[in-house]
Structure 1
Amino acid sequence: MKKLITLISMLMLLTLGVSSVKADTDSSSSSSASSTTLSDNTPIVTLGSSLTSAQRQGTVKTLTSSLNGSSYNTITVTGSDLVKYLNPSGDNFTTSSGVWSSAMIQKTSSGSGINVHILDYNGAENITTITANQYKNAALTAGITDADIYITSATPIDGSGALAGIYKAYAKTGNSLNQSRVNAAQDEMGTLSSITKANKNKDGYSDAQLNNAVAQAKSEMAKYGNNISKSQITNIVNTQLQNNNLTNVITNNQKQQIINILVEIRDSGALNSSSFKSQAASLAKNIQANAKGIFDKLNTQENRNLLQKIWDAVVNFISNLFKSFSN
């Protein structure tokens, strides 16, 4: 009996110890994901051409607040930029289209990934359609790497102007963007946005889960390279939807839309990029860190691996303990 009490007490201590390690790991991971890296060139602020003088000043103040007085460059985004960057994927902007949503892109150190911050303008959330995670996935597909991106709007708007501004600003830094990848990014944005809209307020669904599934799928696709088949992509999508608890939430039609988008991304040549795999993996970690309350509850591979490690530790401990008793 005394040995049994000792065994139970030691198991309780082990459980507490493992829980403490998990808490420390979670805290460290969250801190790392939210840390800010130093820029390696001057940030660029994109300003919608339809802003009034007062709105322009307010937009600059909002977007550059994180710079603490550091220098930045500005460019204006017009209807012509919407036509250039967004229309090839099927949008119908004209050169006279208005642009209000604006952005700042700040290049960061290699390996830091893509971070997007949608900022309130005078306390109002004016980006009405595109989510931060959708911006992140689109930026990855388009070919943008290692950047902090800030987005706001002086008036309620979907946020397309800010995206065109990001593409224009990135090109201004000397980084050429492949139009096929930009087109794929735009189609991806439209698809993910429509799926989120269709599942709004549905139990078991969040935009973070969907975008994490897509980011993880991109990371897996990159392991195969540009020769990955549609059937392999389909298997990856099925796995990632299951890992993110979306199998019974996403309709078959919506799943097919995701598959088609990923096939388009493959055909755009994105998988030929040496950085695509690492950037996709970083993006998935970023999404999970920013929605930790959601992903802690999911039956993800990462959570299953942690539980397996805990179980292995308990089994090994008990096995060794009984060996010591038998000796």
Structure 2
Amino acid sequence: MKTKWLKMIAVVVLALGVMAPATGFAADNSKKAIDEKLGVPIVVYGANLSEVEKESVKKSLTVDEEPEIEEITVSGQDLVKYIKDSNSSSRMYSSAKITRKDAGKGLVIEIVTPENITQVTAEMYANAMLTAGIEDATVQVAAPKAVTGHSALVGIYKAYEVTTGETLDIERTDVANEELSVATSIAESSGVDDAKVAELLTEIKKEIAELNPATREEVQQIVENQLSKLEINLSEQDHQLLVDLMDKISKLDIDFSKWSEQLNDISNTLQEKFGALMEDEGFWAGVKNFFANLKESISTWFN
């Protein structure tokens, strides 16, 4: 009996010995390779991060998993470079990792610390990046504490120029920053959901790309069309901000025929992420009933 067990153990040990090299070989093959054509990912850190905060950001952006990476810092001086009339003393905390992709792959944006990016959504970043002239990249955004997320866009500009060797059009980066500000302002002041604001901006820009409006009046009509279609009501101030922004965008030096496809990608992403939820009246009725019942339950506690 003992001999039988010894033979079985020997077989198992032999099998493990044969399998071990194969397993090791597979692990080596699974490692990320350095992209010799498009270059290594670039991580851009907000200049006001402490060393502890920087280490937290590195972990969030999985910097250690990259075989090779380039690291840079974005400061208030960069803010002045890309955005007119900005404050060079601005605090910069939100950070990003940008990886170039082959032409036609589009933009993939991920906020890896959503609890700390309080105002800007992934779709807002994507919209602003297209306006700025950034295409075909994977971008991850992170912050070690609660921030609005606006400075990450400046970091993305700087990283994109470093990784591509191209110079972004400052007029476009300035308008892109205005777009981000208008988007977050509308979401905050009008009570419109972030996803709905992103959808509004995307659909207006799609119609601008398709119709190529020649006058401000035509741009305003496009804005009105989409506000009505999406059933969004804005204050007079927000309405004016939106029309002013879209009028500027319509006058930028952009290949609008190429833009349509990229905007469709953002639109499809929004539909996939939020479409079914937004259209599910039963879901929202359930939410409403839940809070109504909760209110009644709490009121009984004090009777």
* TM-score after normalising by structure 1: 0.68
Identity fraction in percent: 30
Pair 1:292-2:275 in alignment: yes
- Contact 1:115–1:286 under 8 Å retained in 2: no
Residue 261 in structure 1 maps to residue 254 in structure 2: no
Aligned ranges 1:1-327 → 2 under 5 Å: 40-64=38-62, 68-86=65-83, 88=84, 90-91=85-86, 93-94=87-88, 96-120=89-113, 125-172=115-162, 173-200=164-191, 205-225=192-212, 228-246=214-232, 249-270=233-254, 272=255, 275-297=258-280
Higher mean alpha-carbon deviation, 229-238 vs 138-147, is at: 229-238
Distance in 2, matches of 1:176 and 1:49, equals 22
Structure 1 residue 48: deviation in Å? 1.4
Unaligned runs of 5+ in 1: 1-37, 299-327
1:98 Cα deviation after fit: 3.1
Paired with 2:117 and 2:144, the residues of 1 have a C-alpha distance of 9
Give the deviation of 1:274 after TM superposition: 5.1
Secondary structure at the aligned position of 1:130 is classed as coil
Unaligned 5+ segments in structure 2 are 1-33, 282-303
CA distance in 1 between counterparts of 2:67 and 2:215 reads 47
Report the residue type matching 1:106 in the other structure.
T
Larger Rg: 1 or 2?
2
Q: RMSD of aligned C-alpha atoms?
A: 2.5
Once residues 55 and 71 of structure 1 are traced to their aligned partners in structure 2, the CA distance between those partners, rounded to angstroms, is 21
Aligned partner letter, 1:176: T
User: Which has the bigger relative contact order, CA under 8 A and spacing at least 6?
Assistant: 1
In 2, the alpha carbon distance for the partners of 1:259 and 1:104 equals: 32
SS of equivalent to 2:151: helix
Measure the CA separation in 2 of the matches of 1:297 and 1:265. Answer: 33
Measured against aligned partners, the alpha-carbon deviations of 1:213-263 in whole angstroms (never above 9, x if no partner) come to 2112112211233x53222222222222233232xx323442232121110
Query: For the Cα contact (< 8 Å) 1:208–1:288, is it kept in 2?
Result: no
Report the Cα distance in structure 2 between the residues aligned to 1:252 and 1:82, rounded to whole angstroms.
30
CA, structure 1 residues 180+294, in 2 after alignment: closer, same or farther (shift >3 Å)? farther
- Range with greater deviation from structure 2 (275-284 or 136-145): 275-284
Matched AA of 1:236: I
Aligned residue number for residue 16 of structure 2: none
The AA in structure 2 aligned to 1:283 is: I
- Contact 1:128 1:156 (C-alpha < 8 Å) held by counterparts: yes
Cα distance change of structure 1 residues 97 and 233 upon mapping to structure 2, 3 Å threshold: closer
Give distance in 2, aligned partners of 1:196 and 1:106: 29
- Count of residues in Structure 1 that have an aligned counterpart in Structure 2: 245
Distance in 2, matches of 1:111 and 1:294, equals 29
The list of structure 1 runs, each at least 4 consecutive aligned residues, that deviate by more than 4 angstroms after superposition, is none
